[in-house]
Amino acid sequence: MTKKILVLPGDGIGPEIVTEAMKVLNVFVDEGSLNIEAEYAHIGGAGYDAEGKPYPKSTQTLAKAADAILLGAVGGPKYDTLDRPLRPERGLLAIRADLGLYANLRPAILYEELASASSLKPELVANLDIMIVRELTGDIYFGQPRGIETLPNGERRGFNTMVYTESEIERIGRTAFDTAMKRGKKLCSVDKANVLETTELWREVMIRIGKDYPEVELSHLYVDNAAMQLVRAPKQFDVMVTGNIFGDILSDAAAMLTGSIGMLPSASLNKSGVGMYEPIHGSAPDIAGKGIANPLATILSVAMMLRYSLNQPELATRIEAAVKQVLAQGKRTGDIYTEGCEKVDTIAMGAAIVAAL
């Protein structure tokens, strides 16, 4: 069966890295192991430029019909003065909500060849392999009421609502337990149950559904302690699960532990297995158009797409092996370059992966 892929290059380095990732995907099409139909559309600043909105209607229509979406990156200084609802990142929030992409899987992996890139001592991060499962369509990101109001005394007051229902918590919890079952069977749930009722309920639900996964060792950390433990001894973690805002903070901290965020992919899934796949790094406007961006995070996002939305785990594994092989060959884009390696540009890195496949 032909699968529909929507490609959203977005802004900044987005188009360059997505081009390389599509070349990799097309290797499988050409060899006959994959049947896809790819369409292209705009999101973020590109959506605003083309149709006046960061998540245009035409993009929405294609997104709703797609089996999987490959996204480059959104944002750039050019859009910073727009009204907030028109800004690129609102396009991202809109597509997440619109497609119900509630499960954000963010691996933090440190490749042996890049161990020295971390700001942490090598022995603390060598072979780091954490999976952060972040809830992506609830919490204070979307909670109502929200806004800025003027009080009777004339001063303004900003407010937002953190909110989770039991079923929202259970849904992401099951994703996290299922993920842990396929990995090291250790799950750490992160909350602030000593202060916030929302996360008191979160912890209660995690404990309850944990009974259905007797093989998984479930632990709980307060978010402040989780941030400390990530800095102190990240290898103690296998899978972590948390809400949208805590996940935003912790997953970025975890990614930075590896020192090579140009290498890290992500998946955002809905309940039908439709997913959006994107590198965790941003649109890097400072190097956009120079042809020097690292395409590996986007290429590894394609691997996640093959695994989670296209039911092609072997092809995913082939990409991951190709990335390791190319790193072992010593090829590096500027962001991960160290002395003694061979510096390559975006296109050459894409070509190296294609060759390794």
Consult the annotation and say whether 156 binds a ligand.
Answer: no
Consult the annotation and say whether 46 binds a ligand.
Answer: no
Angle (CA) 177-183-188 rounded to 5° is 50
Q: Is 98 in the site for ligand IPM (CB under 6 A)?
A: no
Q: Is 294 in the site for its own copies (CB under 8 A)?
A: no
Q: Is 343 a catalytic residue?
A: no
Which residue among the candidates 3, 252, 343, 345 is catalytic per the annotation?
252
* Distance between CA atoms of residues 280 and 11, nearest Å: 14
Q: Is 235 a catalytic residue?
A: no
Q: How far is the CB of 64 from its own copies (least distance, A)?
A: 24
Q: Is 98 a catalytic residue?
A: no
Q: Which is nearer to ligand IPM, 112 or 224 (CB)?
A: 224
Those residues whose C-beta lies under 8 Å from the C-beta of residue 254, and which sit 6 or more positions away, are 106, 108, 130, 132, 230, 234, 240
Angle (CA) 282-284-286 rounded to 5° is 165
Q: What is the largest CA-CA distance in the chain?
A: 70
Of positions 36, 38, 50, 162, contacts its own copies by CB under 8 A: 162
Binding positions for its own copies, 68-127, rule CB under 8 A:
84, 87, 89, 93, 119-121, 124
Strand boundaries in 201-356, DSSP class E: 217-222, 239-242, 265-269, 275-279, 331-332, 342-343
Instruction: Kindly list the strands in the beta sheet with 265-269, ordered across the sheet, starting from the edge strand earlier in the chain.
Output: 36-40, 3-10, 68-73, 275-279, 265-269, 103-109, 129-135, 239-242, 186-191, 217-222
Q: Which is nearer to its own copies, 230 or 288 (CB)?
A: 230
Residue nearest to ligand IPM (CB): 89
Q: Which is nearer to ligand IPM, 89 or 129 (CB)?
A: 89
* Distance between CA atoms of residues 241 and 244, nearest Å: 10
Q: Which is nearer to ligand IPM, 75 or 350 (CB)?
A: 75
Consult the annotation and say whether 248 binds a ligand.
Answer: yes
* Distance between CA atoms of residues 221 and 207, nearest Å: 13
Which residue among the candidates 141, 164, 277, 308 is catalytic per the annotation?
141
Those residues whose C-beta lies under 8 Å from the C-beta of residue 67, and which sit 6 or more positions away, are 3, 4, 5, 274, 309, 310
Q: Is 227 in the site for ligand IPM (CB under 6 A)?
A: no
Angle (CA) 311-102-46 rounded to 5° is 85
Which residue stretch of 2-10, 87-95, 173-181, 296-304 sits at the interface with ligand IPM (rule: CB under 6 A)? 87-95
Q: Which of its own copies, ligand IPM, none does residue 143 bind (CB under 5 to 8 Å by kind)?
A: its own copies
Of positions 36, 86, 93, 231, contacts ligand IPM by CB under 6 A: 93
Q: How far is CA 343 from CA 163, 182, 284, 287, in A?
A: 47, 36, 19, 16
Q: Is 233 in the site for ligand IPM (CB under 6 A)?
A: no
Q: How far is the CB of 31 from its own copies (least distance, A)?
A: 39
Instruction: Give the chain's length.
Output: 357
Q: Which is nearer to its own copies, 121 or 182 (CB)?
A: 121
Q: How far is the CB of 234 from ligand IPM (least distance, A)?
A: 19
User: Which residues does the annotation place in the binding site for NAD(+)?
Assistant: 76-89, 282-294
Binding footprint of ligand IPM on the chain (CB under 6 A): 89, 92-93, 194-195, 224, 248
Q: Catalytic residues, which ones?
A: 141, 192, 224, 248, 252
